[in-house]
Structure 1
């Protein structure tokens, strides 16, 4: 049989092939057969070859992965040309269909090579992208950092000790926070504003990665994480990825519904969504506000699924296991499906469009089923009800409006001020910057400071309680019935 191994590494694809019992070496007739003949007589292997021989099913990376298995199983084969020549030399009429399918497959491979990889990303290009984004880092824990045994592949991370307290940070809910000394009520009529300078707050600068802990080295609690320079090493692929992620945010802003009211900026939701609290609605978010063709909706949905899923893959790779294990345990316990939309059926795999070239990762796991895309977002102090201890956010771009009145003149604000995440009781302000991944506790009071012309582009996964509650109420039959309603899915022909 043939089994496909799905790994968290978006680029790892391989096949494990076994011979059917009737063709095993212990069988008298099978002992006289050559390894190639045994391999191609396997129904599962024939099925893979037949699938790859179909124009609409051919995938370059799957073909490479399958060829790698062939080279390991059969001595002397190094290419599809070798495989085809050896198969033809067997001269077995009952294998003529398999031989014909390999001939078609070989034609696709040659055509792909002749195009010079101008249409889609090659396996090598995808591996380069993964390396530039740091998705291949070794796993580590906070304990590793405290004991100075963190892998060399992990960039430096500073530890800060900080305790939660209300003593010097008594700020009520729904209060806007400002880092601007000259802020006044007239700048937000009817809104309560507090200056962060009046409270015991500390900055996490935008050029250093930090993990904020409470307790002691022998009994600590992870409170907040801010990792910097993520996927921003000036490589051609990482630059292309950040541009793709920024463009996907712009598309979400222009074409999708703003589902969360904010003082500044927008926040849009895609994926699964349970409707307003008083409604009994559960399903894929209906988020487009403009009338688009089916092809346009599919295109934008694939972009968002790709953007959120690569954000998820990066978080899984670069965050310490203290966070990823807690998040993954929650996902496993809730058994929530992966990200999907009304126009793209649930499945594994996603596509990134970098410099107009598709980077397709067919077996990479998609992100969890709830994602928020934000631009210029600012919010007052609040908490988010969630079952998971941590939420994740990724700032992919930060722009400053130089025409804003607070951004010019003798007392112009510094670029790092405005639109920054604040954990109120912890007394920590995370300076926003491109390439920043934040893991925070959504159940603790937090806010995003008034922006004053600072505009962050970002993604967030929050694991909201209302989505989990809605999914829990569905029976197993209802879950299956909803998630396999293919007639409601717009398919791309």
Structure 2
């Protein structure tokens, strides 16, 4: 810590005409001249080790309105302008741009209580919105289904199912307990000035991730990759961050791609916190906080999945939270699969949506099915979905559709491995 004498000497130094002449010529905080300036004053005052701390000290110690004060004030403004220009050039958003994006995507909204949503629920003949979803009371029923079976739309009997059209936002509520069982919100982040760029970015990062990382469901149709904390393969007993790259890429590129994936997961989580009913997201948030699991970033979640052209078989998941949350980034006709005049076509890794047999009803599939609730959710770009993973569910096989999305699963096995390590006294670093 600098002494009083050192501070006085530093005060004289920042007012020297020779120093002010150097300051007048600076604008780049990373230039060699700026580095030399900081090095010179830090020899006198050891607490001043950055250009920002030097500027703050100089503005505090020079008299407002004097030439010396104006010179240092000018440097502060030039440094700010330089950094803002560098952000724009690199594609990094400024604080104002971030606030504008938050407002444009309606992320400043707070969750509404189910009672308010019920009161404002549109009648069946009126359109819905993700802020005013339709409330449907529906009770779960016993179901007989084979786990691990594929859901093929042309073969499966959907009679008696509630079909949610691609433009309908619906929340399904148990009539006896008044607990939410399934939430389907449409049009998330669509219609904003930044929507096209945002969705293009999300789709690209999912495509890159599915190309570079290990497919954790290699026997299923499509690709699923994992980010964040995981418990390794089922036969192992480990806990750590997923190391899933299968391609050789340099460390800096890997970090950039990891940060992109974390940003996408964080955006999904923020959509959930803004638009899902208060009771639902409140319950999930409590489950996550009580789990004690380390996060990938501040206010983020522990793990996530990125999927492309993926169809899940009939299954149920063990989760430490009551809901699994997903956001559909794309669900649209796949041009590669539309040339279907041939009776058969070979599947490729790039387009697992290509059908193996001729189907005159192309395109279809990729729709979510809750078997005990008897609900078929016709998928669409911009769908935010929260379902109860403990009940049998799956997605219908894709035919002529390109689909990709992000899922937050809250895997029970990850929590169990973490709890086991904590019980043994192992320290696990929290990424906060």
TM-score with structure 1 setting the length: 0.66
- Hey, what does 2:106 align to over in structure 1? 134
Distance 2:423 2:294 in 1: 13
Residues 226 and 154 of structure 1: is their aligned pair in 2 closer, same or farther, counting only changes over 3 Å?
closer
Deviations 1:260-318 (A, max 9, x none): 24531111101111112321211110100001111111111111111111111111111
Q: Which residue of 2 aligns with 1:109?
A: 80
Taking a change above 3 Å as real, the CA distance of residues 147 and 380 of structure 1, as seen in their structure-2 partners, is same
Question: Is 1:125 matched up with 2:101?
Answer: no
> Displacement of 1:163 after TM fit?
1.3
**2:378 alignment partner, one of 424, 431, 441:** 431
Question: 2:405 maps to what in 1?
Answer: 458
- After superposition, residues 182-331 of structure 1 pair within 5 angstroms as 194-197=155-158, 199-216=159-176, 219-233=177-191, 235-331=192-288
1:412 maps to which residue?
360
Give the Å deviation of 1:177.
1.3
- 8 Å contact from structure 1 (residues 87, 99) kept in 2: no
Structure 2: gaps (5+ residues): 1-27, 32-54, 123-128, 344-353
CA–CA distance in structure 1, aligned partners of residues 318 and 87 of structure 2:
50
Alignment deviations for residues 239-270 of structure 1 (CA, whole Å, 9 cap, x no partner): 21111110111011110001124531111101
Query: How far apart, CA to CA, are the structure 1 residues paired with 2:98 and 2:257?
Result: 21
Cα distance, 1:369 vs. partner? Answer: 1.2
Asked if structure 2 preserves the Cα contact closer than 8 Å seen for 1:84 and 1:99, the reply is no
Whose strand proportion is higher, 1 or 2?
1
Alpha carbons of structure 1 residues 55 and 369: separation in structure 2 relative to 1, 3 Å? farther
Tell me the C-alpha RMSD between the 2 structures: 3.5
Per-residue displacement from partner, 1:185-236 (whole Å, max 9, x unpaired)? Answer: xxxxxxxxx5133x432210110100011115xx412110010000011x33
Q: CA deviation at 1:106?
A: 2.9
Structure 1 residue 455, shift from structure 2 partner: 2.3
Deviation of the 1:83 alpha carbon: 12
Structure 1 residues 238 and 178, CA, compared in 2 at 3 Å: closer, same or farther?
same
SS at match of 1:236: coil
Distance 2:239 2:295 in 1: 15
Matches within 5 A, 1:37-186: 88-89=62-63, 105-112=76-83, 117-119=88-90, 120-148=92-120, 155-166=131-142, 169-180=143-154
**Secondary structure, aligned partner of 1:275:** coil
Residue 63 of structure 2 aligns to a residue whose secondary structure is helix
Matched position secondary structure for 1:220: coil
Name the larger-Rg structure.
Answer: 2
Change (3 A) 1:426 1:106: same
Distance 1:85 1:54, change over 3 A: closer
Matched residues in 2 for 1:82 and 1:277: separation? 55
Structure 1 unaligned segments of length 5 or more: list them: 1-52, 57-80, 181-193, 340-346, 349-364, 485-493
Q: Is the 8 A contact 2:226 2:244 kept in 1?
A: yes
Q: Give the number of equivalent residue pairs.
A: 359
Question: What is the aligned counterpart of 1:394 among 327, 340, 344?
Answer: 327
Rounded Cα–Cα distance in structure 1 between residues aligned with 2:175 and 2:295: 35
Contact kept in structure 2, 1:224 and 1:439, CA below 8 Å: yes
Report the Cα distance in structure 2 between the residues aligned to 1:283 and 1:114, rounded to whole angstroms.
38
The correspondence of residues 366-405 of structure 1 with structure 2, limited to 5 A, is 367-401=300-334, 402-404=338-340
Deviation of the 1:103 alpha carbon? 6.3
Provide closer, same or farther for how the CA distance between residues 383 and 54 of structure 1 changes in structure 2, counting only shifts above 3 A: farther
SS at match of 2:365: coil
Which of 293, 311, 318 does residue 336 from structure 1 map onto? 293
Secondary structure in 2 matching 1:432 = coil
Q: Are the counterparts in 1 of residues 295 and 430 from structure 2 also a CA contact under 8 Å?
A: no
Report deviation, 1:399: 2.7
TM-score (norm 2): 0.74
CA–CA separation in structure 1 for the residues paired with 2:318 and 2:146: 17
SS in 1 for 2:147: coil
Partner Cα separation in structure 2 for residue 481 and residue 440 of structure 1: 30
Match of 1:470 among 417, 420, 432: 417
Whether the 8 Å contact between 1:134 and 1:230 is mirrored in structure 2 is no
